[in-house]
A and B are shown apart, each in its own frame.
Chain A
Amino acid sequence: MSAEKEAVKDESMLLQKAMISRNYDAITSKHETGRKVVSTFVPGNLNELVMCFDMLNNLPEINAIQAGMRKLSGGYIMEAEKGGHSEDVCTYVKADIGQMARGNIAPNGKPFPDPDILLLSYTGCYTFMKWFELLREQYKCPTVMVHVPYQGDGHTTQNMRDYIVKQLKEEVIPTFERISGKKFDIDLLRELMTRSAKAEDDLVWVIETAKHKPSPIDAYFGAVYYVGPIFSAFRGTQEAVDYYKVLKKEIQYRIDNKMGPITPEGEMKEQKYRIVVEGPPNWTNYREFWKMFYDEGAVVVASSYSKVGGTYDMGFRHDPKNPLESLADYCLGCYTNRNLPTRVDILEKYINDYEADGLLTNSIKSCNSFSAGQLMMMREVEKRTGKPGAFIETDLVDPRYFSAANVKNRLESYFQMIEQKRRGVKSAA
């Protein structure tokens, strides 16, 4: 197979790539530097707290995404299935387990060292718990869990917040102190959170630029990159603050010049459809998937996936004045921790605020946390907004579940349906 054409990349993308590489290098050289490694998840990511103890943050989900984008996940998943994991299990989990079975090689080509601690700080996805049980079995390292109550009634209570803060104080912080040998310094946490909030302000500015017409960004395929630093190991760092400065400049330039987003094939010129997307992307055929949108002139103006690591556009910021409480709020506010009516409200608001043409749901075969209830949600959003919805099915990192012809067929049908509706009765036979 011929190699894919080199993608067009902005300066911010190169900057982020270097940040990620540095983090992988830091993780794989932990034995030389003596730094400790924490494995944890994107939702409920307590990066500032991890940094307080000078530990490194390793995210198995991100590793699975990296493997998916580098076309390695298929082999890893088969490896995990050989080990007895069923076809229906979350493919992030299987990619991770399979990667371990095949030597656990990091994207920099060096083996991942075993983590020193597993931090499970979000339990809205129950698969996360099982995943970490498997990892604990494998690594035989300490595990610390923060139980996060589900927002079943659509809101949080002081009780929930106190419950999480108590866990942070009584479980997480003492365990981190023990593992790292460092005392907890709340002032350092405040300092890091000040930087977090700054970067979060900028991220919100970035994602809200999609309200412009033409939109200077793609809020799904492009936003995956934009949320990267804040969702992963960089929230609270100066690097993240600097990254958003560069990114904002790039986007401001595009706004000033009425330019569209930069796709792997260069600037997207024509924007015929403004779409809101619900659900995570497919990673194994990411470029091919994106191309199906921009080739048809479809730009994503808002997405729920770009909120999985924090619903900042709904007002949440890490608060240096109440550091532990705001970590609790952060964990509680994860997108998939919201109940279905709240998710419907969010999507409806996106359709209206971003003047979108409709809602597309990318339902993930192996992710119940996201997929349960999605069709009903879509119907409700359609009813409330009067804008048409469409439903496609792919998977996170299992290439076997991506059927390009089928997805393309549905997407084109959807875009043409929007066009047909827009032109209305006039054009009907």
Chain B
Amino acid sequence: MRCFIGIDLGSTTTKSVLMDENMKVLGRGITGSRSNYDIAAAVTKQEAKIGTRFTLFRDRLASNGKAQDAEHLIGDLERTFRLEQFLYMLSELESTCDGFVSGPRVVGKESIIREALDTVFKNLRAEAIGIYGPNAARKSDFFRDIAGSRYMALAEDVAKKADLNFDLLVNIYDKSINEIENRMSSDDDVSKWFVKALDRVLADGSTLNKENITSAMNDTLSIPLDETYVVGTGYGRVRLPFPKEHIRSEILCHGLGAHMMFPGTRTVLDIGGQDTKGIQVDENGIVENFQMNDRCAAGCGRYLGYIANEMNMGLHELGPMAMKANKVSRINSTCTVFAGAELRDRLSLGEKREDILAGLHRAIILRAMSILSRAGGIRDEFTFTGGVAKNEAAVRELNKLVEENYGKLKINIDPDSIYTGALGGATFAHRACN
């Protein structure tokens, strides 16, 4: 089938959206940009294709008239698919780690290290079922984050017991994970995970007609997903091995993507990893005007990343903590470089973490408001996109400031807003062929 793909290579994450002939979004993919845009683009594209297979499978089951059962099955299948994918990558990681047990630092300790690694990976595999269990909350969906944090915890323990230098195990992991991240899974791998995952789900005593479901899955997997037209956008777009006409500015893609999500959009705010953009679009999604931050990434998503690191928290935990604030600390600097200093400064004055966080979120939004006013202000409807749009504390501050400055407006936030640029790209791809 003909597929139109948009890839948004952000400074932090790379996103993709795949749509069909009728501009229906079938799949989305996201991965860390890992300073290697070629790989990130390929990985995210594969992820969007995986998402597409799920959609196609769901549609096929639904057309058999068992929508509700199908939904339940798909939920289990998604989880189990990720488990299979995780286990596969874990085994790849294990053999790669094994390959790095060499060199002068480990001479004479090879067998004890191998034993330690064996224990770590055995435990990791055992934990995997739980990590992908029903209702399990994961801090991240990226293999690097999940495997990494558990590896470190397990390896530290194992190293202590075996009287082994923990750093050796860390070093082996670091080398291996970079190699693993730069490998791409093939279509065959993906098909295998689907089949294995489905077997696992059906073996769990499902009451559905196994034969029908298996044949639906086989049908789904046999559909070729042609890359009819791919458009790249985002910070890393020039690194894409695409001809020039396949590359679009992220401003245009975000403008069009926001228009596709909310056709009434007139002003778009996108806060990404290192850019904050204010974009005005007309009733057709055509960009009329824009402003963005200059080279300084103050007050962008990366700022929150640094703050999370400083506080030893996950990025996704910042918003919820800020929501608990009783008062909002006054933060003067949204400079990313000084983020840590600002934070420690406030803590040393005895201010509460949640109040400081609330202040930091407000500071970010104040900066975005300034960029928006330079872009010509906010018009109704106003659409907020980018990674930071997922942060409830940022959204709360934005709502407040928009109302104070521009009155009551319709503010749109799509739960998939992180894919706005990629959606715009996919739309451009579709447009190029139709």
Which A residues lie at the B interface, using CB under 8 A?
A: 375, 379, 382, 388-391, 393, 401-403, 405-406, 408-410, 412-413, 416-417, 420-421, 424-425, 427-429
Contact check: which of A391, A402, A424 meets B291 at CB < 8 Å? Answer: A391
List chain B residues, Cβ under 8 A from A389.
Answer: 289
Q: How far is the CA of A421 from the CA of B250 in the complex (A)?
A: 16
Q: How far is the CA of A292 from the CA of B286 in the complex (A)?
A: 23
Q: A391-B374, A402-B295, A429-B427 are in contact. List 14 more A-B contacts (CB 8 A).
A: A382-B289, A389-B289, A393-B294, A403-B294, A405-B235, A410-B251, A410-B292, A413-B250, A417-B249, A417-B286, A417-B288, A421-B286, A428-B285, A428-B286
List chain A residues, Cβ under 8 A from B252.
Answer: 413, 416-417, 420
Contact check: which of A401, A402, A420 meets B286 at CB < 8 Å? Answer: A420
Q: Counting CB contacts under 8 A, is B75 at the interface?
A: no
Known: A413-B251, A428-B285, A429-B256. A401 touches B431 (CB 8 A): no
Establish whether residues B289 and A416, one from each chain, have CB atoms under 8 Å apart when the complex forms.
no
List chain A residues, Cβ under 8 A from B259.
Answer: 429
Instruction: Name the residue among B23, B286, B374 with the largest chain A CB count within 10 angstroms.
Output: B286
The digit string for B227-262, where 1 denotes a CB below 8 A from any CB of A, is 000000001001000000000111110001001100
Establish whether residues B235 and A409, one from each chain, have CB atoms under 8 Å apart when the complex forms.
yes
Q: Counting CB contacts under 8 A, is B86 at the interface?
A: no
Jot down 7 A-B pairs with beta carbons below 8 A, ordered by A: A401-B295, A409-B250, A417-B288, A420-B287, A424-B286, A428-B285, A429-B256
How close is B336's CB to chain A, nearest CB, in angstroms?
Answer: 14
List chain A residues, Cβ under 8 A from B260.
Answer: 429
Known: A413-B252, A417-B251. A429 touches B295 (CB 8 A): no
List chain A residues, Cβ under 8 A from B430.
Answer: 429
Q: How far is the CA of A388 from the CA of B289 in the complex (A)?
A: 7
Q: Counting CB contacts under 8 A, is B376 at the interface?
A: yes
How close is A64's CB to chain B, nearest CB, in angstroms?
Answer: 21
How close is B291's CB to chain A, nearest CB, in angstroms?
Answer: 6
Question: Which chain A residue has the least Cβ–Cβ distance from B11?
Answer: A405
Establish whether residues B290 and A429, one from each chain, have CB atoms under 8 Å apart when the complex forms.
no
List chain B residues, Cβ under 8 A from A402.
Answer: 295
Known: A375-B374, A403-B294, A420-B252. A388 touches B288 (CB 8 A): yes
Contact check: which of A382, A401, A413 meets B249 at CB < 8 Å? Answer: A413
Establish whether residues B427 and A416, one from each chain, have CB atoms under 8 Å apart when the complex forms.
no
Could you tell me which residues of chain B, from 279 to 314, have a CB within 8 Å of some CB in chain A?
284-292, 294-295
The digit string for B145-186, where 1 denotes a CB below 8 A from any CB of A, is 000000000000000000000000000000000000000000
Contact check: which of B238, B285, B374 meets A429 at CB < 8 Å? Answer: B285
Known: A413-B250, A429-B285, A429-B431. A406 touches B295 (CB 8 A): yes
Question: Which chain A residue has the least Cβ–Cβ distance from B291?
Answer: A391
Q: How far is the CA of A417 from the CA of B254 in the complex (A)?
A: 12
Question: Which chain B residue has the least Cβ–Cβ distance from A405?
Answer: B235
Give the interface size class of chain B. 20 to 34
List chain A residues, Cβ under 8 A from B275.
Answer: 409
Dominant SS among interface residues on chain A: helix
| Complex A-B, nearest 10 residue pairs according to Cβ-Cβ distance, in ascending order | A403-B295, A428-B284, A413-B251, A413-B249, A393-B294, A417-B287, A429-B427, A416-B249, A412-B249, A406-B295
List chain B residues, Cβ under 8 A from A388.
Answer: 288-289
Question: Which chain A residue has the least Cβ–Cβ distance from B257?
Answer: A429
Q: How far is the CA of A420 from the CA of B288 in the complex (A)?
A: 9
Q: How far is the CA of A409 from the CA of B279 in the complex (A)?
A: 14
Known: A379-B376, A403-B295. A413 touches B431 (CB 8 A): no
Q: How far is the CA of A417 from the CA of B249 in the complex (A)?
A: 9
Question: Which chain A residue has the least Cβ–Cβ distance from B247?
Answer: A412
List chain A residues, Cβ under 8 A from B290.
Answer: 390, 413, 417
Establish whether residues B249 and A409, one from each chain, have CB atoms under 8 Å apart when the complex forms.
yes
How close is B423's CB to chain A, nearest CB, in angstroms?
Answer: 10
Instruction: Name the residue among B249, B275, B292 with the largest chain A CB count within 10 angstroms.
Output: B249
How close is B153's CB to chain A, nearest CB, in angstroms?
Answer: 37
Q: How far is the CA of A409 from the CA of B295 in the complex (A)?
A: 11
List chain A residues, Cβ under 8 A from B295.
Answer: 393, 401-403, 406
The digit string for B408-434, where 1 denotes a CB below 8 A from any CB of A, is 000000000000000000010011000
List chain B residues, Cβ under 8 A from A401.
Answer: 295
Question: Which chain A residue has the least Cβ–Cβ distance from B248?
Answer: A416
Q: How far is the CA of A401 from the CA of B376 in the complex (A)?
A: 25
Q: How far is the CA of A417 from the CA of B424 in the complex (A)?
A: 14
Q: How far is the CA of A238 from the CA of B291 in the complex (A)?
A: 47
List chain A residues, Cβ under 8 A from B251.
Answer: 409-410, 413, 416-417
Q: How far is the CA of A425 from the CA of B275 in the complex (A)?
A: 28
Q: How far is the CA of A179 from the CA of B245 in the complex (A)?
A: 63
List chain A residues, Cβ under 8 A from B256.
Answer: 428-429
How close is A360's CB to chain B, nearest CB, in angstroms?
Answer: 13
How close is A121's CB to chain B, nearest CB, in angstroms?
Answer: 34
List chain A residues, Cβ under 8 A from B374.
Answer: 375, 391
Instruction: Name the residue among A382, A393, A412, A413 with the largest chain B CB count within 10 angstroms.
Output: A413
How close is A172's CB to chain B, nearest CB, in angstroms?
Answer: 41
List chain B residues, Cβ under 8 A from A375.
Answer: 374
Q: How far is the CA of A427 from the CA of B23 in the complex (A)?
A: 15
Q: How far is the CA of A26 from the CA of B248 in the complex (A)?
A: 52
Establish whether residues B431 and A427, one from each chain, have CB atoms under 8 Å apart when the complex forms.
yes
Q: How far is the CA of A230 from the CA of B275 in the complex (A)?
A: 41
Question: Which chain A residue has the least Cβ–Cβ distance from B426?
Answer: A429
List chain B residues, Cβ under 8 A from A420.
Answer: 252, 286-287
Question: Which chain B residue has the least Cβ–Cβ distance from A419?
Answer: B252
List chain B residues, Cβ under 8 A from A428.
Answer: 256, 284-286
Question: Which chain B residue has the least Cβ–Cβ distance from A404?
Answer: B295
Q: How far is the CA of A391 from the CA of B65 in the complex (A)?
A: 55
Instruction: Name the residue among B284, B287, B295, B376 with the largest chain A CB count within 10 angstroms.
Output: B295
Q: How far is the CA of A412 from the CA of B247 in the complex (A)?
A: 10
Q: How far is the CA of A375 from the CA of B260 in the complex (A)?
A: 30
Q: How far is the CA of A379 from the CA of B376 in the complex (A)?
A: 8
List chain A residues, Cβ under 8 A from B238.
Answer: 408
How close is A377's CB to chain B, nearest CB, in angstroms?
Answer: 13
Instruction: Name the residue among B250, B251, B256, B431 with the largest chain A CB count within 10 angstroms.
Output: B251
Q: How far is the CA of A200 from the CA of B347 in the complex (A)?
A: 64
Q: How far is the CA of A389 from the CA of B430 in the complex (A)?
A: 28
Q: How far is the CA of A368 from the CA of B376 in the complex (A)?
A: 22
List chain B residues, Cβ under 8 A from A409.
Answer: 235, 249-251, 275, 292
How close is B374's CB to chain A, nearest CB, in angstroms?
Answer: 6
List chain B residues, Cβ under 8 A from A391.
Answer: 291, 374
Q: How far is the CA of A191 from the CA of B367 in the complex (A)?
A: 58
Question: Which chain A residue has the least Cβ–Cβ distance from B288?
Answer: A388
How close is A358's CB to chain B, nearest CB, in angstroms?
Answer: 11
How close is B280's CB to chain A, nearest CB, in angstroms?
Answer: 10
How close is B86's CB to chain A, nearest CB, in angstroms?
Answer: 34
List chain B residues, Cβ under 8 A from A425.
Answer: 284, 286
Q: How far is the CA of A388 from the CA of B291 in the complex (A)?
A: 12
How close is A79's CB to chain B, nearest CB, in angstroms?
Answer: 23
Q: How far is the CA of A382 from the CA of B287 in the complex (A)?
A: 14
Q: How far is the CA of A425 from the CA of B287 in the complex (A)?
A: 11
Question: Which chain B residue has the least Cβ–Cβ distance from A426?
Answer: B284
Q: How far is the CA of A410 from the CA of B279 in the complex (A)?
A: 12
Question: Which chain B residue has the least Cβ–Cβ distance from A412?
Answer: B249
List chain B residues, Cβ under 8 A from A421.
Answer: 286-288
Q: How far is the CA of A406 from the CA of B11 in the complex (A)?
A: 12
List chain B residues, Cβ under 8 A from A417.
Answer: 249, 251-252, 286-288, 290
List chain B residues, Cβ under 8 A from A406.
Answer: 292, 294-295
How close is A289's CB to chain B, nearest CB, in angstroms?
Answer: 14
Question: Which chain A residue has the least Cβ–Cβ distance from B259?
Answer: A429
How close is B325's CB to chain A, nearest CB, in angstroms?
Answer: 33
List chain A residues, Cβ under 8 A from B285.
Answer: 428-429
How close is B311's CB to chain A, nearest CB, in angstroms?
Answer: 28
